[in-house]
Every structure is written in structure tokens, then in C-alpha cells.
Amino acid sequence: MDTTNINLPWHFGQQYAGQTLQWIHTDNEDNFQRMMQDPTHADYFVCKGWDQLDAILYRINHMGFRGQDFNKSQPGMLALGCSFTFGSGLPESTLWPTLVANCLDLACWNIAWPGIAADTSYRLAEYWLPELAPKLVCVLMPPRDRFELITANPALQAEVFMSASESSMFSQADMYLKHWFVADENAWINQRKNARAIQSLCNEHNIPCIIKYADQEMSGSTNELEYARDYVHAGPRGHQLLAGKILNELT
């Protein structure tokens, strides 16, 4: 896909565009080495084929998203979300967007990125949905206790606020942020309005849209969902279950 003179919306993955990464986000080598010292985790990794350092790779396309470069000449499915959709700690082949797209014989256009908010998902959808004209849009809404703020910093054009410990710009003296996080209803409203905005955008373009929520779909026991290599995210079984729900809803 030709990127010449395209005013792309900024997102965190652009710094890795065109690269194949061995580690990213919560899936890092130090954590992997610690996990391999525990026989239970080591056996699980061997079972999944993740015991080698290069068993899981992150292929970042020229737009800064995980997966192959976008080809608008073939029909595709657009996937939106955060790390649960990007697939931190998991092979690309096991992710719910890949599973759904393969079953529908569609290209998988996964524009998720770890740590983003529902606001980011809408912002990216507003550009990429009309640009790619997918046959289907599937959204796994990021956890609700996040929101995105556009900044004037050219090196960091947006900041996602999660908590005092996770956002570099967070200040305890900021009364707006303090009240936003103290009142849970702010998070609920922000998530709902972004979900409705994405649905409305899809309706405008006559594209089917299925929306699920990471808070609901990716929370459960490791026995039920398994776990990713980073021991933070749901594993292959969780992605299989979600893909099955989406496919059942479509049919």
C-alpha cells in the first residue's frame, strides 16, 4: 500500500513500522527467562512451542500495525482493540482476529496496539475504516479505565491515562484527572460513547460491526483461557473462545 502523502493518524506503533520484533510491551526477555525457571511454566511453554526465544515474533507492517501490509485489492476484516487484540505474548496465528478472518476467507487488518484506550480505537477507525473499506469490523473494546489525551508534544502526540503509576503525565495535583478516576461512571460513559461512535461509523459505511469488551471476554481463570507468554494476557484458548462467539454471532 502506497503511503506517499498520506496524513496517517499518529499511533504508538509507528516507531516500529517495517520491523520484526522479538519482544514488545509486557512480553519481554527478562520475564520469559524467569518463567522458564518454573517447571510448570516451562512445561506449558514447551507444550505450546514457546520455549525458544524466537518462537513468538511481532511482524510490524509499514503502517505500524501487527501483520502483513494492507492490500485493498482483497476483501478484509478490520480488527480494533488493545493488547488483547494485538496479541501480546502470543503468535499471530493464534489471535482472535486471525482466527475470525481466516474462517471468513478475509485478509486480517489488525490495527490494535498495546495500552491504547477506547478513544484511540475510535480515532484509528475514523481514518482506516473508509480508507480500507473492510467487509467486517470487529472490536474488542479496551479496558474502560483508560482515556486518551491528544498532546502538543510532536514526539508523543497522544497519552493514554490509566493510573498514577502508569501514565508519565499524570499529576496528583490535576483535579480533572483526579475526579475522572475517582468517579467510575466517567470510565463507563467513555467506553460506551466510543463503542456507539464506532458502531455509527460502521453504519454510515454499511459495514457489519461486532463489538465485544475485553473487561468481559478476556477475564477469567488460566484454566479456562490459558495464558500468553507474558503471563498477563489471555492465552490461545481465550482467543479461540472469543473467535467462536464472534463467528456464531455472524451466523
CATH of the domain at 75: 3.40.50
C-alpha cell at 68: 502483513
Would 5 be classed as within a structural domain? Answer: no
Write out the residue range of the structural domain in which residue 32 sits: 12-250
Would 6 be classed as within a structural domain? Answer: no
User: How far are the Cα atoms of 65, 120, 191 from residue 126, in angstroms, in the given order?
Assistant: 16, 10, 16
Would 4 be classed as within a structural domain? Answer: no
Average pLDDT over residues 150-178: 83
Answer yes or no: is pLDDT of 213 > 80: yes
Mean of per-residue pLDDT scores for the chain: 94
- Write the secondary structure of the chain as one string of H (helix), E (strand) and C (coil): CCCCCCCCCCCHHHHHCCCEECCECCECHHHHHHHHCCHHHHHHHHHHCCCCCCCCCEEECCCCCECCCCCCCCCEEEEECCHHHHCCCCCHHHCHHHHHHHHCCCEEEECCCCCCCHHHHHHHHHHHHHHHCCCEEEEEECCCCCEEEECCCCCCCEEEECCCCCCCCCCCCCHHHHHHHHCHHHHHHHHHHHHHHHHHHHHHCCCCEEEEEHHHHCCCCHHHHCECCCCCCECHHHHHHHHHHHHHHHC
Q: Angle at CA 99, nearest 5°, toward 93 and 102? A: 100
Q: Give 75-116 pLDDT, tens digit per residue.
A: 999 999 999 999 999 999 999 999 999 999 999 999 999 999
C-alpha to C-alpha distance for 15 and 13, rounded to whole angstroms: 5
Would 198 be classed as within a structural domain? Answer: yes
Would 219 be classed as within a structural domain? Answer: yes
C-alpha to C-alpha distance for 15 and 121, rounded to whole angstroms: 18
Would 2 be classed as within a structural domain? Answer: no
| Beta-bridge mates of residue 213 | 141
Would 1 be classed as within a structural domain? Answer: no
Is residue 54 within 8 A of residue 72, CB to CB? The reply is: no
pLDDT, residue 212, reads 98
Share of the chain above pLDDT 90, in %: 84
Number of domains in the chain: 1
Kindly tell me the burial class for residue 209, based on how many C-beta atoms sit within 10 Å of its own C-beta (0-12, 13-18, 19 or more): buried
pLDDT, residue 229, reads 98
Kindly tell me the burial class for residue 37, based on how many C-beta atoms sit within 10 Å of its own C-beta (0-12, 13-18, 19 or more): exposed
Closest by CA position to 166, among listed 192, 189, 143: 143
pLDDT, residue 3, reads 42
Share of the chain above pLDDT 70, in %: 97
Answer yes or no: is pLDDT of 17 > 90: yes
227-245: buried (b, 16+ CB within 10 Å) or exposed (e) per residue? bbbbbebbbbbbbbbbbee
